[in-house]
Structures are given as C-alpha cells and as structure tokens.
Amino acid sequence: MLQSLKRLLVGEPKATAEAPHERLSNPVALAVLSSDALSSVAYATEEILLVLVLAGAAALTWTSAIAGAIALLYVIVTASYRQTIQAYPTGGGAYSVSKDNLGIRAGLVAGSALLIDYVLTVSVSVAAGVAAITSAFPDLYEHRVILGVVTVAAIAVVNLRGVRESGRLFAIPTYLFIVSFLGLIVLGLGRVLYGEAPIAPALAPPAVVPTAAVAAVTPLLILRAFSSGCVALTGVEAISNGVLVFRKPEAENAKQTMAWMAAIMLTFFIGITFLARQYEILPREGETVVSQLARTIVGTGLFYYVVQAATALILLLAANTSFADFPRLSSLLAADRFLPRQFVNRGDRLVFSNGIIILAFLASSLLVLFGGDTHALIPLYAVGVFISFTLSQGGMVLHHFHLREPGWRRGALINGTGALTTGIVLAVIAGTKFVHGAWMVVITIPILVAMFTAINRHYRQVGEQLRIKHFAVPDKVTHAVLLLVSDVHMGVLNALNYARAISPAVEAVYVSLDEEATKQMRLRWGLWSGGVPLVVLDSPYRSVVQPLIEYVDKIQAERGVDFVTIVLPEFVPARWWHTLLHNQTAFWIRANFLFRKWTVVINVRFHLET
Amino acid sequence: MLQSLKRLLVGEPKATAEAPHERLSNPVALAVLSSDALSSVAYATEEILLVLVLAGAAALTWTSAIAGAIALLYVIVTASYRQTIQAYPTGGGAYSVSKDNLGIRAGLVAGSALLIDYVLTVSVSVAAGVAAITSAFPDLYEHRVILGVVTVAAIAVVNLRGVRESGRLFAIPTYLFIVSFLGLIVLGLGRVLYGEAPIAPALAPPAVVPTAAVAAVTPLLILRAFSSGCVALTGVEAISNGVLVFRKPEAENAKQTMAWMAAIMLTFFIGITFLARQYEILPREGETVVSQLARTIVGTGLFYYVVQAATALILLLAANTSFADFPRLSSLLAADRFLPRQFVNRGDRLVFSNGIIILAFLASSLLVLFGGDTHALIPLYAVGVFISFTLSQGGMVLHHFHLREPGWRRGALINGTGALTTGIVLAVIAGTKFVHGAWMVVITIPILVAMFTAINRHYRQVGEQLRIKHFAVPDKVTHAVLLLVSDVHMGVLNALNYARAISPAVEAVYVSLDEEATKQMRLRWGLWSGGVPLVVLDSPYRSVVQPLIEYVDKIQAERGVDFVTIVLPEFVPARWWHTLLHNQTAFWIRANFLFRKWTVVINVRFHLET
C-alpha cells in the first residue's frame, strides 16, 4: 500500500540509462540558471528600506548610495566568477574550488555554508513568493505559513518525480518576469519623467517599527542597511556551477550569459530602488514594496496581477534550483565520505531522493519557526552566501598562483579584489546582523564541519577494520547447529529438515519448564525426529533465553567451533494481528544474540494458511 | 537499562519452586477474602440515597424498605453460594461452574461478566477510596483522578512484585475497618436512643440534582434506587472462589466464614443506612455519606480520621483482590485457549504479569473517562456482577440435577431461588440502569464472547495446520546457498566462511549497478574467494532487491531444491547512531523475503570495534 502511494506521488522507476544530458542555448540557460539571482529583486530593495526607515524619513536619502555600493559589489563578484568559469569549465562550486585550493577544512566550511544557503534560498524564496501572492490577495495573509509549507512540499514532490531541467518550460516564467519588470520600470520612469509620479496611496508607517522611537542615522545603521541589501547578490554563482549545460564553447557562452544576467539584475535592482524612492514607497506589513510600487504605477489591474504572478513564479523557480543544488552537493560530500552514503544513491526516478526530502524538511521547519516572514530570515541568509563567495574567490587566487597560466596576474588581481571585497562585506554582515539571527549560522557552520569530520572518521575506521590484512581461505569451517524446540509439530519438523540441510550433526535443544511436559516431549521427539539427539536444559526461573545463552557459552568454551548456529522454528501467521496470539520467543532470542560474536540465529518460518 | 528499571520496580526473579501454599485460619481468611464484600458499605447507602433524593425528601421514607429488600437478597445469595462451596471445594468460580453445567457459551458469558466486574471493582473501589480521603482533606478533591490513577499504578506494581497473600498483614486493615465501623454504629445508635441525634451540619442539597426539578416517586424510581443499592452484594462470591485457602475441613470452614461475613456486612449496611436516615444525611458533592455521618456522630477528631483511613484502606484491599482474580481468570481462559497464551505464563515473580498490567490499564482508563466519580461507575458495576451470580447459581441447579447427591432437592431449591432472584434483579438493574451506563456492559459482553471464540478458532486452526499427519524424515534435504556480496572486505569474507560451513556449494551473488565497479569486483573476488563462483546480476533500475528476487525465482523454478538460503554479510556498528551512516540493504532484503516460502535469510554479523 505504501508502495502504491509512492508510485502515485513519484511515478514509475526510471532506468539508469535514462539519465539526461541536455545542452542549452544561451537564452534558455539564462532562464534556467538565473532565477535565483533575478528573484532577489523581489525583496532586496525592501530590506534596505526596512532598516533605513528605522531612523525616519531623513535616513532614506542614503538609499541610492547603498544601492550604488551593492551594484559595484555585484560587478566585482561577477567579474571574479567569470574567472572561475574559465578555470573550472566542468563546474566550479565553492566546495570543490575551496577544497582543491585551500584544503579540506576550507572546503568543508564552504560546503556547510552552501548547504545552509540552499536551505535558506528555499525558505526565503518561498516566503517571498507567498508574500507576492498575499500582497495581491490580502485575505490569504494569515495563512502564509501553511501556504509556504504546502508550496515547499509540492516543489519537493515535483523534484522527487525528477524534473528534467527542461529549458523551454523554465524559460517561460523567467522571461515573463523579465518582460513584466522591464515594463513596470519603463512605465514608472516614464511617469516620473513626465512629472506624473503619484504618491503611494497607503502610506501607513511600517508596522514593524514603533514610529515614536526613531533611531539616529549612525554609520552602524547605514552598514546594516547595506548588509540587508546584499541579499541581492544571492544566486550570482549559479552560472559558474552549471557551465556544463552550455553548448560549446561552454566557458565562453557561460561568461557571456553571466554578463547578461548581471546587466538585467542591476537594471532591475537599481530601477526598483530608484522608483521606490521616487514614489515614496515604504515597507509595511502585509504588502511588499514591489506590490505597492506596481499598484501605484499601473493601478490594481491585469498588469498588476501579471507582475505579482511573475514575481511569485520566479521565486518558486529560485526555490526549485536549490532542490537540484542541495542534493547534488550532499551527494558530492557523501561521495567524499563526509555525509552518510545514503545521499549518494539515486532514487527510483534518478534523483537524489534523500537530499530532496531533507531539504524540504529543513526549509519547511524554518518557515514555521520564522512565521513565514522573509524579513526575519534575511539575516541568516546573507552570511552563508558571503562565506562561500569569500572562500571560493580566495581559492581562485591560490589557483592562479599555483597554475601561473597566461594572464594569471590579471586573474589573481580580479579574484583577489573579489575575495577581499566579499571578505570585508562578510565581516560587515556578520557584525551588523549577528544579534538579528546571523549568530545561528555562525554557530551552525562549525557544528556541521565537526559532524562532517566525525562521519569521515567513522568511515575511515570502518574501512580500516574491514580491510583485508592476512586472510587465507580456511580449509574447513566448523560449526555447531542447535535447533531450539518447544514442541513437536509441522513447524518444528520443517525447521529440523532445514537444520539437517546445513549440518549433518544437529542437536535439538529443549528448555524444560515442567517435568510432565518434558517427559511427553522426549517421547514425541524420539518418535518423529529420526534420531536427532535432544538436549534438555533446566530453567528454574522459567526463562527460555537464559539457559540457551549458558549452553552456547559452554559449547563455545569447550568444543572449539568457529560458529554456533541457533535454528529457531517460527510460524508466520496469516493475519498480522494473529502475532498477538503467539509468544514472541523467537524475537527475544534474536535480540539476545544480536550483539554476540560468532553466533548466527536463523529463523526458519513455517507459513500458516489461515 | 530497561532491565535494571524492571528489577528496581519488581525485584529479582523467583524460582518456580518458590510458589506459596499457605493455609489460613478462619478469622484471617475472613479478613483476606471479605474486603471486597465489606468495602461496599462505603458507598452502597449513598447510592440508594442519591436516587431517592431526586424525588425530594418524601421519597427518602423508602430507604428502609429498599435496604430491607437488599438484605433479604443478601441472605438468599449467601445461602446459594454456601451450596457452591459444598459442591466445588477446590474453588467454584462462575466461569468454571457455568462452563461445567451450562456449556461453554454460558461459561464465556460468565467469564466476560467477571472480567468486566474485576476491572470495575478496581475502578469503583479506588474511586471510593480516594473519595474517603478527599472527604477528610477537601483540598485534594480536585486531584481525585490523578490520585486514583497513581493508586492503581501502585497496587499494580505491588502485585507485579508478587504479594504473598500474607494473612496477618491483610487482617490489620480489615479488622480496623470492622472495629471502627462497629464503634461508629454503636455510638450513633447510642446517641439516637438517648435522643441526642444532631442534624448533619452541612445540609446543602446534593450538587448533582437541581432542586427545582423534583421527580415524582414512581415505581421506576424505587426500582432504580434498589438497583443502585445492589452494589452492596459485590464480592459476596469471593469466599466460594477461595475455598482452598481454608484449613481442613475446607468446605465447613468456608461456609462458617461466609456466614460471619454476611452477618458483619448486613449489620454495617443496615446500620449505616438507618443512621443516615436518623441523622438526615444527604449525599452531596465532595464528601461521602459515611464521612458526613462520622463527622456528625463523633465530630472531626481522631476517631473520624480513623474511620476515613479504615474505609480507604479496605477499599484498596478490595481493589487489590481483583489484581489476584483478574489475572487468575485470564490465565484460566488462556489455558482453555480463549485468550492469548501470554496470559498463561507466570512472570519473573511468579505472578501473571500480563493480566496485572492489562487490568491496571483498563481500570485507570475508566477512572480517567469517568472523572474518578464512584457514582458514575456504579451503573456499569452491578450488571456484570449479577450476570455472573445468575449463571453461577443456574449452573448449580443443573449440577444438583445431574449429580442427585444426598439432599440434592434442597440444594437445587436453594440455588434455584438464588438463580431466580438474581436473574430478576439482573433484569431490573439492566432495565433501570440501561441508559445510565449499563448499556456499555450489555454491549461489551457479546463483543468479548465473540473475541474469545475467534481466538479459540484461531488456535484450533493453527493446531490443525501444525499437526503432524504424514511425515517421514527425508533422506536428504537439498538447498542452494547464495551469498550476497557488494564488495570484498573482512565482513564479506567472514560471511563467506559461514556460508561454506553450511554448504559445500556456495554461490556469491553480486548486483551490478556500475560497469567499472563490476569489473573491479570480479577481479578482487577472484583473488580472495578461494574459488567460490560469482554470479553477476544486472539492475537497470538500481534496485538490489528486485534482481535478487528474480534470481531466487529462477533457482526455485529450475533446480528443484528444498530451500534457498540467502546469506547476508552485515556489520554491527559499535554505536547505535552509526547505523544511520550505513545502507540498510540487509534490512530491506529480509523484509522482502519475510513472507516467501522455502527461503531462509541468514544475517552473518561482523562486529566493528569503533
């Protein structure tokens, strides 16, 4: 029944040979690989405004400067990752690049940061996607947590079925998003130019800030706003990880596509931020900044709903990319023996099922814990991202120094700038966001690294113990076979037959609880057993297990056999509840011998019909 | 660890030879066997008043008449049970008497009624015992449910440890109860005779009845009051069940003791009922009638507390008797194959542990369900008791007719009167109490009888299937031994050795998931296996189990062997959480072959050190 449910959910199994190897054209690859990066437009501006507004309207003048700094950072990071594409044309994830160049410890830190990052990408994207929908339909706002969890579960099921990253299908929402945001920005700018910029209708102060307590515009506040805005950089590395999906020449195509992505992203981010300032839009509970902006520019009409739908869709796609990345990274870590080997196996549908299930569980848990609130999750998000940026860029610097390929100095300079910049930003983010949640990530990473190391140590120890050192096939392996009997019936005779098949010298063992019954047993055994000897063990305390253990002790001490085999006759009832009507002696005997060396317990099952 | 906890709770195991065989003098036997009967004095009067008070003060004049009728009934039932003692000197429980004389169906009905009766004895007695305590300490009243559940658990633990029904210890509370109640009644009567009878200080109307809605004094109401009072008869049969604890001549001693018990019981019941009327005591929530009466007669002093303590103690003893009776009856039913055979086994401490645990669970559940309220449980209680009375007396009538022993006509007349009277009372109780809860018992009894019958049918069918019909020890039993391998390491070689011990013709089976690995495997197997052939099975869907099942199918279809043995190398991790780090392939293979005939799966375990 469980099996049928599984089939219904995930479909028929796929053969190993069906694994896809599809190459994508640049526009399609852009759609597939940039959803994570582009989708952050939906919340990055809002995060900056949310911090600045704490210091009142005056502080908002800092918005443009902060957006400019982030744009500059974006250019530096993009340039740096184009170097990675060149150096790792088969896909250079932060884990591999750090491990190769900075050593295994750095690799594990990058790996931990990435795993956390993927979980948060799902949580944040789904929370933001749900926010886009509840902005359009405010009645749904109170159900945002359950909507988020259901969405995560749905994405997980789709991924367990195994989505082909079928380019065309994925391209639709991405280009819908690009076109609608471009339209929104152009329309918005047009109205600004013609002096028609209306003011957002609902200028209620943001519910998260008590208006009375206005903070001062301190450098710390500015840095916090900057840190919050840095979520705009999430997903920028996706193209450098997926070089192999491009057509030949892969590296060239990937670099070109990355430039396009950066251009689109920056246009949108700067455009939305600029327009939000022009239309004097402030963040408030229950409606996103983008939704307010769209309502103000185009009114609550068809186009507004298209913008919201496109936002929600690209955010779902962004969440979906983590469902490819997290299981893939888990399988890499598991292949290197840092995670349980179950993560290496592909499931029925050729996907890494265990990784998908765990990711869905973690992301849903975060959604529930943080009440489905994008803003509450952001401080956790950026830390992990910038740790992997810094390690990856730093690794690239060493890579250039090791390799000294043509133009390596220029490459090292670019990556060095990248590493330095992202390192500084990382320090800023960790510092300013620590108390707001970044501490959780700062704590979790060393825990994960310790776990990876412990798992690896275990696997190495097991490997050492299982390694064949001095082994010669022995001439003869000896064993004593005991058949435990409590009565003489078909089930016992069936087991007796089996015992005789595995040894010519079977001994039947009977635990005596009652004299009369023992006398009967001896008689009946003599009648039916065909000469197999019967050993009777006394049991003053009515336990079956204890005398058996003592007898096995005695055999092992006296006879010098390699193995002792205990054959247990057992019958299999026709209905599960019938098991309640029979003593579970076989189970207890198994449990008692489970951890005993050189003893093998065999259940020989006799199947009842009714 | 679980084992140590068990030892702490129930103590060290006892040897079978330690089973006690103690005989008791009549006064001690009276104390041991009559706690259930005497303890009903604590609530019987209150139950009568609770019904009559529904019709206002005028109806209370019926109290004496009802008490008189119940006293008459008591005499008839006692006389009838003295016949049973004579006829069944080894102890004549309603189950045995009904089964012997009326057939197995009647026996099962009596057995069901008794089991229900025992559960309710525990619930009612504990609820009433707790009520005696909370009457004295009203602050505890709100905790009555948890107090009741803890009390049941404590009695269960004591019984799991195995109480010797040590006469002297049990005699103390019973005689304390007899002496204190006798004192209370004498004092109360004295004050009535001298015209000093004061009125109970707190004559608040009973909280359970809205004073506005006074019912009419109908025959139905009188019958309901009578039915409620019939709980006074519970426990009357205890002496006839326990004839064997008396000294020789057992039957004579038992009959004498029964007469004493009836005399004491009737004195107390009539005395308390009479005094309650004289002192105009009415039932009310939070304090029992006996407690009010004691407070009124002797004031809230030391003697009052002694009375309450004695009441609580004898009620606990009454509950305790069920912890001997329920497991004993279950073991009888199980020995006759109407209950799972686990009920026949004596535990470590020579007690029927399973029966004790189930009784404690059921009685606690009832306490929780009915809010620890004696009054709510009473309608369920009386039905079961009178069913077993009627069947037991009815069985005795037939017994006399079959046996025609000297004086059998007189015996048949006494038992016939008993059966007829209790039968009529049963009808009255079932009729008047049906909607108040008796329906639950009326429904449960046929369900239990159906369950007993189904269990019995199952055991008979199993017995038939296991019965040896045409069996001859075969000359030779053939089997194919497959060793499932996924690698070559010490664990696999250990299993290979074992496989070679049980068969000279082992075949290793390898499921190929990857071509390169398969090539490696062939090489390494050739190197280490000492010539054991390797069968490679393809698995296009990456399943290990499916190809193995197909291969076993093939062997069973083609080779004509008796058994197929699958040897699974497995390693046992040193720590439990290490199991998470390894594929549970062995587990899944076992599960898949569990219900397959003529296949035996053997795990050969290799023990890791770290």
Is some CB atom of chain B closer than 8 A to the CB atom of A583? yes
Pick from A466, A531, A594: which is nearest to B490 by CB? A466
Is some CB atom of chain B closer than 8 A to the CB atom of A313? no
Give the three-class secondary structure for B27: helix
Pick from B498, B530, B542: which is nearest to A563 by CB? B498
Has residue B10 been placed in a domain?
A: no
Confidence band of A537 (pLDDT split at 50, 70, 90): very high
Span A166-182, average pLDDT: 85
> Could B474 and A497 be called an inter-chain contact, meaning their C-beta atoms sit closer than 8 Å?
yes
> Could B610 and A465 be called an inter-chain contact, meaning their C-beta atoms sit closer than 8 Å?
yes
CATH number of the CATH domain containing B341: 1.20.1740.10
CA distance to A128, A200, A293, A295, A308, per residue, from A298 (Å):
21, 11, 8, 6, 12
Has residue B153 been placed in a domain?
A: yes
CB of B87 closer than 8 Å to CB of B432:
no
Give the three-class secondary structure for A535: strand
Using one digit for the tens of pLDDT, what is the confidence trace for B71-125?
999 999 999 999 989 888 877 688 888 998 889 999 999 999 999 999 999 999 9
Taking 60 as the threshold, does the pLDDT of residue A165 lie above it?
Answer: no
Distance of residue B21 Cα from the nearest chain A Cα, in angstroms: 18
Pick from A491, A530, A580: which is nearest to B340 by CB? A580
A351: tokens are 């996907």
Taking 80 as the threshold, does the pLDDT of residue B20 lie above it?
Answer: no
pLDDT at position B262, please? Answer: 95
Using one digit for the tens of pLDDT, what is the confidence trace for A324-356?
889 889 988 999 999 998 888 777 666 788 899
A500: tokens are 């005789």
> Could A583 and B342 be called an inter-chain contact, meaning their C-beta atoms sit closer than 8 Å?
yes
Q: How many CB pairs under 8 A join A and B?
A: 160
- Interior/surface letters A164-183, b for 16+ CB within 10 angstroms, e for the rest: ebebeebbebbbbbbebbee
Give the β-pairing of B479-485 and B534-538.
Answer: unpaired
Residue scoring higher pLDDT (B206 or A346): A346
Distance of CA A563 to the CA centre of its chain: 44
Using one digit for the tens of pLDDT, what is the confidence trace for B381-409?
989 899 999 999 999 999 999 989 888 99
Of A409, A428, A459, the one marking the end of a domain is A459
Rg (CA), chain B: 33
B504 and B577 inside one domain: yes
Confidence band of A207 (pLDDT split at 50, 70, 90): very low
pLDDT at position B17, please? Answer: 66
Structural domain containing residue B532: 479-607
**Residues in a beta bridge with A538:** A512
B54 and B139 inside one domain: yes
Has residue A18 been placed in a domain?
A: no
CB of B589 closer than 8 Å to CB of B564:
no
Taking 80 as the threshold, does the pLDDT of residue A527 lie above it?
Answer: yes
User: CA nearest B462: which of A518, A606, A528?
Assistant: A606
B144 and B280 inside one domain: yes
Residues of B in contact with A489 (CB under 8 A): 466-468
* CB < 8 Å from A in window 402-431 of B: none
A394: tokens are 């730093």
Q: Give the integer Cα–Cα distance in Å for A112 and A99.
A: 12
| Cβ partners under 8 Å of residue A288, min gap 6 | A42, A43, A46, A128, A131, A132, A135
User: Containing H/E element for A66?
Assistant: helix A63-87
pLDDT at position B19, please? Answer: 60
pLDDT at position B319, please? Answer: 93
Q: What are phi and psi of B218, to 5 degrees?
A: -100, 160
Using one digit for the tens of pLDDT, what is the confidence trace for A261-296?
999 999 999 999 999 999 989 998 889 999 999 999
Q: pTM score > 0.80 for this model?
A: no
Distance of CA A394 to the CA centre of its chain: 25
pLDDT at position A572, please? Answer: 82
CA distance to A516, B73, B421, per residue, from B418 (Å):
41, 8, 5
Distance of CA B474 to the CA centre of its chain: 47
Of A459, A490, A507, the one marking the end of a domain is A459
Place of tokens 């006293």: B71
A304 and A388 inside one domain: yes
Is some CB atom of chain B closer than 8 A to the CB atom of A340? yes
Give the three-class secondary structure for B201: coil
Has residue B506 been placed in a domain?
A: yes
Is some CB atom of chain B closer than 8 A to the CB atom of A277? no
Taking 60 as the threshold, does the pLDDT of residue A437 lie above it?
Answer: yes
Pick from B466, B528, B605: which is nearest to A491 by CB? B466
Most confident of B88-102, B232-246, B264-278, B476-490: B264-278
Span A561-589, average pLDDT: 84
Q: Give the integer Cα–Cα distance in Å for B393 and B396.
A: 5
CB of B322 closer than 8 Å to CB of B118:
yes
Q: Give the integer Cα–Cα distance in Å for B284 and B281.
A: 9
Pick from B467, B493, B563: which is nearest to A498 by CB? B563
pLDDT at position A449, please? Answer: 96
Total of domains in chain B: 2
CB of B507 closer than 8 Å to CB of B485:
no
Pick from B346, B468, B497: which is nearest to A489 by CB? B468
| Cβ partners under 8 Å of residue B369, min gap 6 | none
Compute how many other C-beta atoms are within 10 angstroms of the C-beta atom of residue A553. 12
Residues of B in contact with A474 (CB under 8 A): 497
Ranking A222-231, B11-20, B97-106, B258-267 by mean pLDDT, the lowest is B11-20
A100 and A201 inside one domain: yes
Give the three-class secondary structure for A594: coil
Pick from A497, A531, A581: which is nearest to B340 by CB? A581
Has residue A15 been placed in a domain?
A: no
Distance of residue A449 Cα from the nearest chain B Cα, in angstroms: 16
Which amino acid is present at A362? L
Residues of B in contact with A471 (CB under 8 A): 490, 493, 528
DSSP state of B1: -
User: CA nearest A273: which of A188, A382, A187?
Assistant: A188
Using one digit for the tens of pLDDT, what is the confidence trace for B336-361?
999 998 888 777 666 788 899 999 99
Residues of A in contact with B462 (CB under 8 A): 571, 573, 608
DSSP state of A176: H
Residues of B in contact with A497 (CB under 8 A): 474, 477, 562
Q: Which residue of A has its CA nearest to B474?
A: A497
> Could B562 and A13 be called an inter-chain contact, meaning their C-beta atoms sit closer than 8 Å?
no
B507 and B539 inside one domain: yes
Has residue B12 been placed in a domain?
A: no
- Give percent of chain A above pLDDT 70: 94
Burial label for A272, CB within 10 Å (0-12, 13-18, 19+), is: buried
Pick from A346, A530, A562: which is nearest to B497 by CB? A562
Give the three-class secondary structure for B329: helix
> Could A473 and B530 be called an inter-chain contact, meaning their C-beta atoms sit closer than 8 Å?
yes
> Could A607 and B600 be called an inter-chain contact, meaning their C-beta atoms sit closer than 8 Å?
no
Span A107-129, average pLDDT: 94
A522 and A397 inside one domain: no
Give the β-pairing of A599-607 and B599-607.
Answer: unpaired
Residue scoring higher pLDDT (A166 or A59): A59
Residue scoring higher pLDDT (B506 or A97): B506
pLDDT at position B199, please? Answer: 60
pLDDT at position A203, please? Answer: 47
Residues of B in contact with A501 (CB under 8 A): 477-479, 562-563
User: Containing H/E element for A325?
Assistant: helix A302-335
Confidence band of A470 (pLDDT split at 50, 70, 90): confident
Give the three-class secondary structure for B599: strand
Is some CB atom of chain A closer than 8 A to the CB atom of B578? yes
Q: Which residue of A has its CA nearest to B524?
A: A468
Q: What's the full length of chain B, in residues?
A: 610
B483 and B444 inside one domain: no
Mind spelling out the 3-state secondary structure of B103-135?
CHHHHHHHHHHHHHHHHHHHHHHHHHHHHHHHH
Q: Give the integer Cα–Cα distance in Å for B500 and A477.
A: 7
Place of tokens 């060793």: B483
User: CA nearest B86: which of B332, B415, B394?
Assistant: B415
Span A406-432, average pLDDT: 92
**End-to-end Cα distance, chain B:** 22
Q: ipTM > 0.90?
A: no
- Give percent of chain A above pLDDT 90: 53
Has residue A346 been placed in a domain?
A: yes
* CB < 8 Å from B in window 521-540 of A: 528-531, 540
B148 and B196 inside one domain: yes
Pick from B458, B542, B607: which is nearest to A581 by CB? B458
Span B135-150, average pLDDT: 93
Give yes or no for a cis peptide into B89 (omega within 30° of 0). Answer: no
* CB < 8 Å from A in window 473-492 of B: 473-474, 477-479, 488-491
Distance of CA B156 to the CA centre of its chain: 10
* CB < 8 Å from B in window 548-567 of A: 562-563, 565
CATH number of the CATH domain containing B529: 3.40.50.620
Taking 80 as the threshold, does the pLDDT of residue B4 lie above it?
Answer: no
Span A502-508, average pLDDT: 92
Using one digit for the tens of pLDDT, what is the confidence trace for B537-591?
998 888 888 899 999 999 999 998 889 999 999 888 888 778 777 777 788 888 8
Has residue B469 been placed in a domain?
A: no
CB of A390 closer than 8 Å to CB of A422:
yes
Mean pLDDT, rounded, of chain B: 88
Pick from B562, B580, B609: which is nearest to A501 by CB? B562
CB of A573 closer than 8 Å to CB of A579:
yes
Ranking A522-526, B22-26, B37-41, B94-98 by mean pLDDT, the lowest is B22-26
Q: Give the integer Cα–Cα distance in Å for A230 and A379.
A: 10
Confidence band of A542 (pLDDT split at 50, 70, 90): confident
pLDDT at position B87, please? Answer: 87
pLDDT at position B14, please? Answer: 73
A216 and A81 inside one domain: yes
Using one digit for the tens of pLDDT, what is the confidence trace for B286-332?
899 999 999 999 999 999 999 999 999 999 999 988 998 898 899 88
| Cβ partners under 8 Å of residue A526, min gap 6 | A534
Q: Which residue of B has its CA nearest to A15?
A: B541
Span A9-27, average pLDDT: 73
Mind spelling out the 3-state secondary structure of B516-531?
HHHHHHHHHHHHHCCC
Of B459, B492, B515, the one marking the end of a domain is B459
> Could B501 and A563 be called an inter-chain contact, meaning their C-beta atoms sit closer than 8 Å?
yes
Distance of residue B313 Cα from the nearest chain A Cα, in angstroms: 34
B366 and B497 inside one domain: no
A141 and A222 inside one domain: yes
B558: left (phi over 0), alpha (psi -120 to 50) or beta: alpha
Taking 50 as the threshold, does the pLDDT of residue A204 lie above it?
Answer: no
Distance of residue B554 Cα from the nearest chain A Cα, in angstroms: 20
